[in-house]
Amino acid sequence: MTRHATIIGTGSYLPETTMTNADLERMIETSDQWITSRTGIHERHVVAENETTSDLAARAAAMAIARAGVGLDAIDLLLLGTTSPDYIMPSTACMTQAKLGLSCPAVDLMAACSSFVYALQAGAAAIESGRADTVLVIGAEALTRLVDFTDRSTCVLFGDGAGAVVLGVSDEPGVEAIVLGADGSGAEQLIIPSGGAAAPMTVDGAAARQQFVKMNGGEVFKFAVRVIPRVTTEVLAQSGHTLDELAWLIPHQANKRIIDTIGERLAIDPERVYLNVGRTGNTSAASIPLALDDLYTGGRLRPGDLIALVGFGAGLTWGAATVRWTMPVPDKGGS
């Protein structure tokens, strides 16, 4: 039999506290009207004081494992995509592994908002090659901890959350083609300047707020709307499908205007383009698995549906995958 990787469980977690545009209006010089019209974002979730990325990851992953119906000892590998790791060292994957009570190898993948698709590629490859049978793939972020709440050009955009899938082995295709890419010449466009080996944190660096996300928003916008339609077309062609066959295009939830422009350039029916950025903000590596879990629990994914997952972000990086959905529609109540 040909070994394929297929999604056998999904899970997600959004922190309880939300921050609305009205809350931001009280903190910085901005308006609900500006944020809504430029980004489509109305609110985002924010981690509690005693929570961090690995806590959100563990909650989403526990749900995905339960839905997959596998024991903890069945998980062969944990891959975690994040842009807001608990620490530079050790990995957030290890922190999450301990919180879940797993004993498998665990590692972070850091391709910013494309991290989940990169991790999906690594997980699917491990299954297809026979090196693993069951892989936990997580996207998790506590990005509000790394955002400068005095910088209105970035702080209105990001939110916290986590999503996870369990990949299992199947003789039918689940995860089909994956196209990944990177262009490091754009590294400066979206960067946390300080805190790594290039510029360890100093008092002066902290005073200049270099430990926070800095972004050239216009350039990132142009990059996304240039690259993503091309990569979507490429991944569909590689897997032998056309856009018409797609039940859902699930783009990284960065900004409604970016998603609308991608949809227009592809000429896809907006009803088939997933959108939840309005209530989550940009949750970076978590946005695609959050979307998957939302569609699954809402009964909007049916066995046999073809979906395309498309991520883009800092690096610059991008990644697109076609997936044939195999999980049954959940009973009312969502599991």
- Min. distance of Cβ 153 from ligand UT7 in angstroms? 4
H/E stretch holding 118 reads helix 115-128
Nearer to ligand UT7, 33 or 335 (CB): 33
Nearer to ligand UT7, 137 or 220 (CB): 220
Nearer to ligand UT7, 106 or 112 (CB): 112
Nearer to ligand UT7, 158 or 325 (CB): 158
Tell me: does residue 38 bind ligand UT7 (CB under 6 A). yes
Tell me: does residue 149 bind ligand UT7 (CB under 6 A). no
* 103: number of Cβ within 10 Å: 11
- Min. distance of Cβ 185 from ligand UT7 in angstroms? 17
Tell me: does residue 30 bind ligand UT7 (CB under 6 A). yes
Tell me: does residue 187 bind ligand UT7 (CB under 6 A). no
Tell me: does residue 114 bind ligand UT7 (CB under 6 A). no
The correct pick among 52, 232, 255, 280 for binding ligand UT7 (CB under 6 A) is 255
Decide if 319 contacts 181 (C-beta within 8 A): yes
Q: How far is CA 155 from CA 21, 56, 252, 253, in A?
A: 11, 20, 18, 15
Tell me: does residue 90 bind ligand UT7 (CB under 6 A). no
Find, among 81, 65, 54, 82, the residue nearest to 134 by Cα: 65
Q: How far is CA 115 from CA 49, 98, 102, 245, in A?
A: 25, 21, 22, 26
Which x/- pattern over 155-174 shows residues binding ligand UT7 (rule: CB under 6 A)?
-x------------------
Residue labelled with tokens 């091309």:
230
Quick check: is 94 catalytic? no
Q: In this chain, which stretch among 101-109, 229-237, 253-261, 288-296 interacts with ligand UT7, using CB under 6 A?
A: 253-261
Asked whether the bond before 90 is cis by omega within 30 degrees of 0, the reply is yes
Decide if 108 contacts 48 (C-beta within 8 A): no
Minimal CB distance to ligand UT7: which residue? 217
Decide if 313 contacts 114 (C-beta within 8 A): yes
Residues 275-294 that bind ligand UT7 (CB under 6 A): 282
Residue labelled with tokens 């939830």:
253
φ and ψ at residue 38, rounded to 5 degrees = -85, -25
Contacts of 100 (CB under 8 A, 6+ apart): 58, 61, 62, 65, 72, 78
Q: In this chain, which stretch among 46-54, 55-63, 131-139, 216-224 interacts with ligand UT7, using CB under 6 A?
A: 216-224
Tell me: does residue 37 bind ligand UT7 (CB under 6 A). no
CA separation for the pair 214, 200 (Å, rounded): 16
Quick check: is 282 catalytic? yes
> 4, 21, 155, 282: which one is catalytic?
282
Catalytic residues: 113, 252, 282
Binding region for ligand UT7 (CB under 6 A): 30, 34-35, 38-39, 113, 152-153, 156, 215, 217-218, 220-221, 254-255, 258, 282, 313
